[in-house]
Structures are given as C-alpha cells and as structure tokens.
Amino acid sequence: ELQDLSYGKGDQIILDFGSHRVGYLSFHLAVDGVNVDAPTRLRLTFGEIPYDVTEVLHPCNTWISTSWLPDEIINVDWLPTDVDMPRRYSFRYLKIDIIDTSPKYKVKFQDIKVRAVSAISPEVALASQKISIADKELALIDHISQVTLRNCMQTVFEDGPRRDRRLWLGDLRLQALTNYCTFKDYSLVKRCLYMFATLPREDGSLPACLFEKPKLAPASDYIVDYDALFGPTVYDYTVASGDLQTAIELWPTILSSLKIPLSHVGKDGKFDSSASEAWKFLDWSDGLDTNAGMHGLVIFACKEVNKLALLISKPQPFLDIVEKMAVAAKSFYDESQGVFVSGPDNQISWTSQAWLSLAQAVDPQTCLRALKTAMSLPKAVKPLTPYAYHHVAEALARSGGEKECVKLIREYWGGMAKAGADTFWECFDEKDSRRSPYGDCHNNSYCHAWSCTPSYLLRVVLKDYLEKS
C-alpha cells in the first residue's frame, strides 16, 4: 500500500523491516502534485529498538557524542528521483518525518530497499544455525546471539554496528570465542589480532581499541584489562584454528602486553588498582571496585599465556607470578561471608567472584559458593553489561554451577528476548529499561557484540551438561 500513499508537510511514517540489519538504504521518491516548486526536506531516523523511533531523540543527555544519534536530515532538489543514502545504518525501524514538500505537491515512497552487509554470508549464517537444543527459549537465545555477532562482523569485529563501529580488544575476545563455534571465520580474527599487534603504544602495551578508517590508527584509550586479554585471545585463536605460526609471530607482542597489567602487582603478590591511574574496566556498573576482579583477570591471562607457550614450544613465562598471585588471591577471600571482597571497603560484587573463579584462584566448590552467595546478596554490586554477565555465567559453569549458568542465561539474555530484542544489547537492567552507561539510553547500542556469548556458552561450555539433561 505504501507505494500509493502520499505524504506532505508534518506527516510521519514508521516502517518495520521485520528484523535487525546493517546496511544501506535506498528508495524512489515519487511525486503527487502539479509542480515540484521547492525541495523535499525529510528527517530519517533509524531505530534498533522501538524507543529510537517512538521518542524524540533530542536533546540527548549524554557524555559521549550526540552525533551518534541515528537521525539524518536530507534535502532532495529534483523529483521524481532515486535516493541512495550513502551512510551505513544499523536498524530494524525507519521513521520518516516529512518536514516539508510544498503546497503544490506531496511525495510517495516507493521501492524501498536495504542492502545488508556482513563478513558472514547468508549461506554460512544458515549453516551454523543447527544447534541440537530442543528447548525453544535457549534455541531462540542462541539465534539472537548469532544475529548479533553476524551484524557486528564487518571488515573488523565491531563492538556495535551503530556505535562505536570500532574494534575493541575486550569485545574481540568474546566475539572470537563465539565465532569459533558458529561462523568459524578465522581470518577475520587473525586480521584483527595483527591490527593490534601493529599498533603498540610506546611502552609496548596495546591500545584498548583502534580505528580502521580513514587509515589504521590506535585510539588513545587504554584499558589495563583489555591489554592483558590480548594473550588469551591469541591462545583461543590458536586452539580453534590450529594456526601456530601466528601465535609464534605474535609472541613478543603478547609478552609486552602483560607488562603494564603485571606492574600493578605489589610485593605481596596482590593486584593494586591504585598503582596507576590507568583505566581498569571490567564493567560499566557504578562504583565497581576492580582490585579483586583485576587480580583474577591477570592470573587468568597469565595462565592462558602459559598454556599457549606449551603449544608453541616456548618456556612458560608466568609460572612464578601465577603461583605468587594464587597465594595472594586467598587474601581476597572472606571466610565468614564466604565471598571474595575487594578494595578498602571490602566490596562484594558479582564481577570479583567471576574473575577470581575464572582464574581458579581457589577450588571450584569455594568459587561456586562465592558466586552463589554474592548473587543472593542484595548489597552486592551487580553487573550492568552482558560483557560482565558473560564472565559470571562462564565462571558459574566452569565451577560446577551449570544449572545456575543456564538459569542466568534465561533470566538475563532471555530477559532481553522477552523485552523484544532482535539482537542483544550493550547493557540491560531488567528493573530499569532506560539504563545507560552514557547518561541517555538513546546513545546505547542495541546490537552489541559482547552480548553474543550465549551461543558459546550453550554450544561449548554447557555442551555436555545440556546433552545429559
């Protein structure tokens, strides 16, 4: 019907393309009237979720750039004509506000098309759909995870195709893990690893993210934990692809990428976040104390790099420090409460439990108890992003809490699915749908690759458990 409908000044339409896509929009702008005596002025707003097109985006109360907001005003001089929007958008919904035509004519929108783009072809995407899970909810979560990952896989693994459209190291690790059990695009991971390796900072550490365009360049952002995760990312890649040569070439980069993280470890063997001003991320949750979590993360990274050393016949470089930090990890454990505590206020957070468990700092039973206890405490700091929830979920499963891991997947990622997600989001708080790390949810990304890991959890980490149950 749309082909025949005419629109003039002040009219508005919202189109639903049925699913999330990343790509280029084009349409034919036809005329209904006697003369085109003035240009057509349109505002196009691309929505990943309904909020984007059902609410007014401006003003946006945010500390990051408002130029990320997905709206565009265009002026079209000569009609009828084909309109090809030159920019790439990430969307399911399109709102068109007809700002003005003229009293002499109206416009019609015909032949609307989207040319969707991804590094993953539809054939490959379809082939990896097969997951032997009868459970409909989990199968849906797996599907949404894959669409999320596919739409973020472009010329690099983007964090989100709407924002920041950039390669971040911490995001890359989780995307790559999920890619190995779905699309298996090893060369895209390899490309991204080399991009980081080619851009070390002066002290040999790696930037937290990089820009591919207009020319390859490092961002000034530096995150200690992302730096430490480069080695584990190479280890995962090596195991998945069997490509030892890349690991050998990247070995010097791996060793230098752990220098700054390890420089935070004191004589007592404890990671001290206050040892430098550098950003320790772990999650966007408010007020998170990073001492305990970073302690676990650095042990984890060193252990993974030691395993990689064995694969490529190098001496294991971090045996001593792992031993020392493993002893020191016990000092984060509070016997009386049965949890790991962090920082001067002995903060309890899910994230601290997650990373110390992934590091296998203590035995799995103790880790599982610590995780479950923290998760049941209202005062404990909860994660905000799927990035941190992933580490909690994986820590549960790796500590014998497979049942609890599945429950968490259903609640958290299933919660987004119930809220209508076509692709998983950058952050999700079931109690506050407007939550944002940036001040305004309109600047959130709703196809954010660090949320794609249920496919990895279900297909790899929980595989045996799900087959048995």
Residues of this chain that bind ligand RAM (CB under 6 A): 159-160, 164, 168, 170-171, 281, 450
Which secondary-structure segment (H or E) carries 13? strand 12-33
| Nearer to ligand RAM (CB atom), residue 281 or residue 350 | 281
DSSP 461: I
Q: Which C-beta is closer to ligand RAM: that of 7 or that of 281? A: 281
Q: What is the DSSP letter of 460?
A: I
Query: Contact, 449 vs 161, CB < 8 A?
Result: no
CB of 385 to ligand RAM, least distance (A): 8
DSSP 428: -
- Smallest distance, Å, CB 405 to ligand RAM? 23
Q: Are 332 and 273 in contact (CB under 8 A)?
A: no
**CB-CB contact of 284 with 159 (8 Å):** no
Instruction: Using the minimum distance from each CB to ligand RAM, give the nearer residue, 159 or 304.
Output: 159
Minimum CB–partner distance for residue 448 and ligand RAM (Å): 6
CA distance 114 to 23: 6
Smallest distance from ligand RAM to CB 240, Å: 22
Pick the closer one to ligand RAM by CB: 135 or 429.
429
Among 304, 303, 283, CA closest to 293: 283
For residue 372, the cross-strand partners are none
Which one, 171 or 404, has the nearer CB to ligand RAM?
Answer: 171
Provide, rounded to whole angstroms, the least separation between the CB of residue 280 and ligand RAM: 11
CB nearer ligand RAM, residue 95 or residue 448: 448
Helices (H), 35-185: 50-54, 122-127, 136-152, 169-180
CB 469: neighbour CB atoms within 10 A? 10
H helix or E strand, kind and range, residue 75: strand 71-76
Q: How far is the CB of 253 from ligand RAM (least distance, A)?
A: 20
C-alpha to C-alpha distances, 99 to 9, 14, 57, 371, nearest whole angstrom: 5, 14, 16, 54
Residue written as token pair 């297909």: 459
Shortest spacing between CB 90 and ligand RAM, in angstroms: 13
Chain centre distance of CA 377:
27
Other CB atoms within a 10 A radius of the CB of residue 372 amount to 17
Cβ count within 10 A of residue 227 = 26
- Read off the amino acid at residue 207: P
Quote the Cα angle for 352-144-449, to 5°: 50
In the complex, minimum distance from the CB of residue 383 to ligand RAM, in angstroms, rounded to a whole number = 13
Nearer to ligand RAM, 48 or 164 (CB): 164
Cβ nearer to ligand RAM, comparing 25 with 169: 169
Nearer to ligand RAM, 404 or 426 (CB): 426
User: In the bound complex, what is the minimum distance in angstroms from residue 282's beta carbon to ligand RAM?
Assistant: 10
Does residue 395 contact residue 362 with C-beta atoms inside 8 Å? no
